[in-house]
Amino acid sequence: MVKRLPIIFFIAVPLVFSCQREKEAPIITSATYQHSQYNGQAQPVEVTTAAEDAPRPVITYFVSEADFERGVNGDSAAPESIGTYYVRIERPAGNGYKQGKPVKIEYNIQKAFISIVADPVQRSSYDGSPKAAVAVTEPAEGPPLEFYYFDRDSGVPLAAPPAAKGSYLVNIVFPGSDRYMGASKEIELLIE
């Protein structure tokens, strides 16, 4: 009896191995503490990715550090209100890059400056009635301006706008608001 041996066939299958390694997560360039001034519009943090072909970073804003730490109540929309925000910048994997560790930024939107616009010397004609200085804020913002009058020669404060002929100093004060810092300006009021 003749034993038959099994016939074994080999099939050649080309195997393709990728020798490409994932690149390290791209570097994020961003100051750890950022500040901007209120302007009434959404104000995103400044973030730059070192590699142009890297996936876009994912930015999330939190209104408290506790929310940041827990990862709750975050928003992808940039804030516009005055306050302190905690920002998480995540570096997702993709385009051959590894995922990077998140970056934390403290971001403050501060009150904006306001200007008091008034002529430095204001002249009025004497007629016996009180003469008030004139000023406005730029941008226009409440609360109203406060005016403090002083006799120029003696420095004595006056309780109301002056009516007598003379030279007066006027300290104009914007006390500040929810969105703007306080400001002041000194002018001269002449009643001739």
Name the CATH topology of 28-110. Immunoglobulin-like (2.60.40)
How far is it, in rounded angstroms, from Cα 171 to Cα 158?
Answer: 11
Instruction: Classify residue 67 by its DSSP letter.
Output: H
Q: For the chain, where do the domains classified as CATH 2.60.40 start and end?
A: 28-110, 115-191
How far is it, in rounded angstroms, from Cα 97 to Cα 22?
Answer: 5
Considering the domain 115-191, what is its CATH architecture?
Sandwich (2.60)
Quick one: which of 189, 187, 188 has its CA closest to 124?
A: 189
How far is it, in rounded angstroms, from Cα 38 to Cα 42?
Answer: 9
pLDDT at 3 > cutoff 80: no
> Which pTM value belongs to this model?
0.71
Confidence of residue 13 (pLDDT cuts 50, 70, 90): very low
Q: What is the pLDDT of residues 45-84, one digit of tens each?
A: 999 888 888 899 999 999 999 999 999 999 999 999 999 9
pLDDT at 66: 97
Q: What is the pLDDT of residues 123-174, one digit of tens each?
A: 999 999 999 999 999 998 778 999 999 999 999 999 999 999 999 999 999 9
